[in-house]
Structure 1
Amino acid sequence: MLDRNQLVNFLQSELQTETINDYCPNGLQVEGKEQIQRIVTGVTASQALIDAAIKAKVDAILVHHGYFWKGEPAVVTGMKKRRLQSLLQHDINLLAYHLPLDVHASLGNNAQLGQLLTLNNIRPVSGLKPTGIVMQGEFETEHSAIQIQQKLEQLLDRSVLLHEGSDAKVTKVAWCTGGGQGYIEQAAAAGAQLFITGEVSEQTIHVSRELGIHFIAAGHHATERYGIKALGEYVAKHFAVEVDFIDIDNPA
């Protein structure tokens, strides 16, 4: 058994949540049982994940995308009401970590994607806050953009969108998991020949063409599976609790 406050304090310390200005509250978002024995991790606190957690009889859900985002309606109706009602009826804690999990030096979404790609000299692109929101690294040998697309498709088990910004081969890559397409210009300024993120916007392709940088959109969900999974495994190593990752499929 693990005390809820002990878990919250442990994660707050590890992820340095108080040092990062975010768009949502990080930490305990919905209070449940004081004692925790079973935890489910997942990318987003969707109803499907909550239902799977209820079926698994867990005491806590640990996610990357939680609730109470800046600018969202404050009223508890419809979908929000159903989600919160499910958690409260079953006394399940919901803990969520957004930017602190994106940027963590080893457990973070960016760090985990860099490790998955087996890049060398992984480090943050300087001048961006929070530190680590965009990372960079190098392949040992040159790759074509298509080879990297194929590698990602194999690793992530999904199709990814590639726009070739030039004929250049790639050794230096920059990336930001999730909805990081707006950082493509900073990636190019840092000398990256290819930028990887989760999503694409219409203007992203024009920037790729005009700056001559290859661009890959590999899926918001797909690029952010690995941080929360790593965080759950980290918790399981430190405490006598069961932790299971549940991947709710999402093509976006």
Structure 2
Amino acid sequence: MADLFDIIQWCDQTLKSHEFKDYAPNGLQIEGKQQVNKILCAVSASQSAIEAAVEYGADMLLVHHGYFWKGEPYPITGMRGKRIKTLIQQDISLVGYHLPLDSHPTLGNNAAIADLLELEQIEQLDPSERNPIGNIGYLKQAMTPDAFKAFVSEQLGFNAIHLAADKTRIQKVGFCTGGAQDYITKAAEQDCDAYISGEVSERTFYQAQELNVHYYACGHHATEKYGVQRLAKAISEQFNIEYSYFELNNPI
């Protein structure tokens, strides 16, 4: 069992959350029990994840996508009201880390993608960023675009959408998990052969062609289910507490 605020302090320091200008607050979003014995982690703080946390007997729900995003309405009503009410009634803390958990060089979503795809010589996608959100890596051996699609689909467990470019071989790969499809322009600036993210937009089809960068949409959820698991495991080892992962199999 560990103190809630000791865990938050350790996470904040480990992820350097204070260095990020984010779209939602990082760290403790809803305060529950002060003593934490069990953590459930999930990609998003959906009602299903909350109910799974209740069933698991969790004292903390650790997520990548929490609440209080910029532009959200202030009233705590409807769907969001039900979620928050359940957490408060069950005395479960909600802890969320967004961009810091994308960026971290070992615990982050992008680090996990690099490991899964066996990419080497990891670089920043945008050299001007203090804490890079996207990265570049190199395949050990170049692949054809079709072979690379099959590879990423198998490794990430998601049938990737491939928007083709003219290049016949892929070795230098840009990547940024989640909804970072517009970073394909950064990948083009760095002369990447391909770029991977989670989602895709109508405009991305033309960008891939005109920028000559193969684009692979591998699922927002599918590319971001690793960071929370890595962080939860690190917390478990640091504080000797139990954790589990809730998978909802979101197809987006």
TM-score tier after normalising by the smaller chain length: over 0.9
Map of 1:53-64 to 2, 5 A cutoff? Answer: 53-64=53-64
CA distance in 2, matches of 1:126, 1:186: 7
**Residue 129 (1) aligns with residue 129 (2):** yes
Partner of 2:213: 213
Which residue in 1 is equivalent to 2:144?
144
8 Å contact from structure 2 (residues 126, 186) kept in 1: no
Please, what TM-score do these two structures have when normalized by structure 2?
A: 0.98
Secondary structure of residue in 2 paired with 1:225: coil
* Correspondence for 1:250: 250
**Does the CA-based 8 Å contact 2:167-2:193 persist in structure 1?**
no
Deviation per residue, 1:188-222 (Å, 9 max, x gap): 11111000000011111101101111000000000
Q: What percent of counterpart residues are identical?
A: 39
Contact 1:182 1:204 in 2 (8 A): yes
Matched, 1:181 2:181: yes
Q: In structure 1, what is the Cα distance between the partners aligned to 2:206 and 2:131?
A: 27
Secondary structure at the aligned position of 1:85 is classed as: helix
Q: Does 1:43 align with 2:43?
A: yes
One-letter identity of the residue aligned with 1:119: L
Q: How many residues align?
A: 252
State the match for 1:29 in structure 2: 29
Please report how far the alpha carbon of residue 182 of structure 1 lies from its aligned counterpart in structure 2 after TM superposition: 0.8
Map 1:65-84 → 2, pairs under 5 A: 65-84=65-84
* Dislocated runs of 4+, deviation >2 Å: 126-131
Partner of 1:191: 191
Counterpart CA distance in 1 for 2:222 and 2:57 is 26
Q: What is the CA–CA distance in structure 2 between the aligned matches of 1:200 and 1:76, rounded to whole Å?
A: 31
Offset from partner CA, 1:203-251 (integer Å, 9 cap, x none): 1110110111100000000000111111111111111100111111101
**CA–CA distance in 2 between the matches of 1:131 and 1:145?**
30
Contact map agreement 1:168 1:193 (CA 8 A) in 2: no
> Alpha-carbon deviations, 1:2-24, whole Å to 9, x = none?
00010010000000011111010
Aligned equivalents of 2:175, 2:157: Cα separation in 1:
18
Cα distance in 2, alignment partners of residues 238 and 70 from structure 1? 32
Check the 8 A contact 2:135/2:176 in 1, yes or no.
yes
**Cα distance between partner residues in 2 of 1:145 and 1:209:** 13
Q: Which residue of 2 aligns with 1:2?
A: 2
Q: CA RMSD in A?
A: 1.0
The match for 1:112 is: 112
Q: Quote how far apart the aligned CAs of 1:128 are.
A: 4.5
Which moves more between the two structures, 130-139 or 4-13? Answer: 130-139
| Separation in 2, partners of 1:89, 1:229 | 25
